[in-house]
Chains A and B, each alone.
Chain A
Amino acid sequence: MAWFRKTKTPKPIRPERPRSNVPEGLWVKCEGCKEVIYSRDLDRNLRVCPKCGHHMRIDARTRIALLLDEPEPRELFTGVTPTDPLAFRDTKRYRDRIKTYQQAVGERDAVLVVQGHLDEIPVMVAAMEYRFMGGSMGSVVGEKITRAAERACERRLPLLVISASGGARMQEGVLSLMQMAKISAALGRLRAAGLPYISILTDPTTGGVTASFAMLGDLNVAEPGALIGFAGPRVIEQTIRQSLPEGFQRSEFLLEHGFLDLVVQRSEMKEMLARCLRHLYRP
């Protein structure tokens, strides 16, 4: 027999009452310093925490808007869309996952390519969209970045690629792996043509994306505090059975170890890229 018995039905914890009319998402907690920040202040500061300088993730279109002069630069290769070459199914069908992300994110896959001007310098830009399946690289990402490199060669433009990705997309199997080789070969052509390629690494850039185009820039430039690596921190911890030192695989760590040229604040990125490009490139 139970010792305690409920004799009356409990009251609802929150009785129906008008809820506060502050809209959702008006306040954001910074992951860096745990400070609660007014969302509009954060937007004004380019989603960089005004208290601690933590750079929050932003979407691909915002990144392009921060770098290019045109309010609406010309988007290229928009017709390239994902399919399901392996008829892949884990707990969910890949086909359905694609649809879900397309609806939720409003993009067709995890990269956008635009042609425009950065402080009046003509450029080709590819920006990865982390919200779309963790920015994972499948055939579409591989094809669009390759085309961006090839088009940059044809038009004699510098190429900028902004990375934000967990790596290769498992749902397209070995075809995703092969995109690493395909893009790298296209960057080889850009190199042979004497055109600049600047890799801009943002939080997070890992796996097959780091182990191909993200590390191959004439200049590798990162935002502060971005996670950048080949293996993810959890995999490394499991391998070596130790916890990792503070700051391991962050931008500043990579700068110190010689794999980045610069770590640049979001607010200063455009100006810095323009300065670099003016040294490396004459239209």
Chain B
Amino acid sequence: MTASDSQFDIPLAELRKRIEELEGYPAGSSQDKELERLRVSLRKNTAEVYGHLSRWQKVLVARHQDRPYTLDYVHFLMEDWVEVHGDRAFSDDPAIVAGLARFRGRSVAVVGHEKGRDTKERISRNFGQPRPDGYRKALRVMKMAEKFRLPVLTFIDTAGAYPGLDAEERGQAEAIARNLIEMSALTVPIVVTVTGEGGSGGALALGVGDRVFILEYATYSVISPEGCAAILWKDQNKKAEAAEAMRITAPDLLQLGVVDAIIPEPPGGAHTDPEAACRRVGDVLADALDELVRLSPNELIARRYEKFRALGVYDEG
């Protein structure tokens, strides 16, 4: 978040910092009292601020640079992680990570966007904006999962597919489209979690599954608020209005039937306690897998078809 945009989070971050400082000191009665006072204040203020976030403020939380990314979910929830690389055609796109892991006793395939933590890593991962090679790697690993009957877990967090010259040359549109048709027909369970920004086609290309979950402060939209504002309002600064009009937050998506459930975040957002956030996601994913592994491949793809078939609102007369 930039300072001017995220005024609402600054006092909370300061409180957290002071609590952390005090916790570092040896215990003493006056200190304990002060700590307790600060903790109460943080709880109260967090509930106040996060209870009334506007849609645009949620966009900023969803983009927070300390939010857990795919590799954090892997780290906190899985064992025996083996990251695999490459699309077998052109390159290995670091904006998408893919691999095999053990999750609560089961081998699974994991595919997700990865934005990168520090500036250097962010640049090398293109800020989580994949090129076609990334989507093709994702598909390759999903097809491998199908061959070995492993469920697939995907994690979505991208501003969108990369709109660059090389991406177009190598068929960004084809790569996304291919994933949509192949995922709709994959005969193993696919569980999708939107963890941060669900940016348009670049998000949906990992988003066709049997269950679609979203974190409390994550978003999912057809175009970024900035993009929508630039086109419809002819003014990028109308991004907050665009975020409101497009209804891109978790409760909106639940209401529209696009997601199955909202996974609550720790108070103050997933970035304040990534491990707790990951555990909550893990519990939901485990329950979903327990249900889905009982379905036959035919049942699975028939139900997945009906799930997406039902989306859309129109009149008929």
Contact = CB atoms under 8 A, between A and B. Distances in A.
Given A170-B222, A188-B185, A212-B180, A177 B313 contact: no
Given A83-B313, A90-B241, A210-B173, 7 more contacts: A86-B247, A178-B311, A180-B204, A208-B222, A236-B164, A248-B168, A259-B174
B163 interface: yes
Given A184-B184, A192-B185, A174 B308 contact: no
Interface string A176-210: 11111110111111011000000000000001101
Contacts of B228: 170
Interface string A110-144: 00000000000000000000000000001110110
B222 A174 contact: yes
Interface in B279-317: 304-305, 308-309, 311-317
A230 B201 contact: yes
A85 B247 CA distance: 11
Interface residues of B, number: 56
B77 interface: no
Interface stretch (A3-11, A74-82, A275-283): A74-82
Interface string A63-102: 0000000000000000111110110111100000000000
Can you list the 4 inter-chain pairs with the closest CB atoms, starting with the nearest?
A231-B163, A139-B312, A185-B184, A184-B180
A3 to B, nearest CB: 38
A85 B177 contact: no
A138 B311 CA distance: 11
Contact of A88 (B245, B248, B316): B245
9 contacts: A81-B314, A172-B313, A174-B248, A176-B222, A216-B177, A229-B168, A239-B162, A242-B165, A249-B168
Nearest to B315: A81
Contacts of A146: 309
Tell me what chain A mostly uses at the interface: helix, strand, loop, or mixed: helix
A173 B165 contact: no
Contacts of B200: 168, 177, 208
A175 interface: yes
Contact of B204 (A82, A181, A235): A181
Given A177-B204, A211-B176, A213-B177, A182 B311 contact: yes
A89 B180 CA distance: 30
Interface string B246-261: 1110000100101000
Tell me what chain B mostly uses at the interface: helix, strand, loop, or mixed: helix
Interface string B217-241: 0001111000110011100000001
A231 B172 contact: yes
Interface in B120-166: 161-165
Contacts of A207: 201
A83 B314 contact: yes
B118 interface: no
A181 B207 contact: yes
Contact of B314 (A86, A143, A235, A258): A143
Given A180-B180, A181-B208, A181-B308, A259 B253 contact: no
Interface in B35-52: none
A215 B204 contact: no
B171 interface: yes
Interface residues of A, number: 63
B181 interface: yes
Contacts of A229: 168, 172-173
A133 to B, nearest CB: 11
Nearest to A81: B315
B264 to A, nearest CB: 21
A175 B174 contact: no
Interface in A254-281: 257-259
Contact of B232 (A170, A181, A213, A239): A170
Contacts of B312: 138-139, 142-143, 175, 178-179, 182
A244 interface: yes
B200 to A, nearest CB: 6
A257 B258 contact: no
B104 interface: no
B55 to A, nearest CB: 11
Contact of B233 (A90, A239, A248): A90
Contact of B256 (A168, A175, A191, A216): A175
B5 to A, nearest CB: 21
A174 B177 contact: no
A213 to B, nearest CB: 7
Interface string B188-209: 0000000000101100110110
Nearest to B316: A79
B139 to A, nearest CB: 13
A104 interface: no
Interface-central residue, B174, B258, B309, by most chain A CB under 10 Å: B174
A202 B317 CA distance: 30
B167 interface: yes
Interface-central residue, A79, A176, A191, A213, by most chain B CB under 10 Å: A176
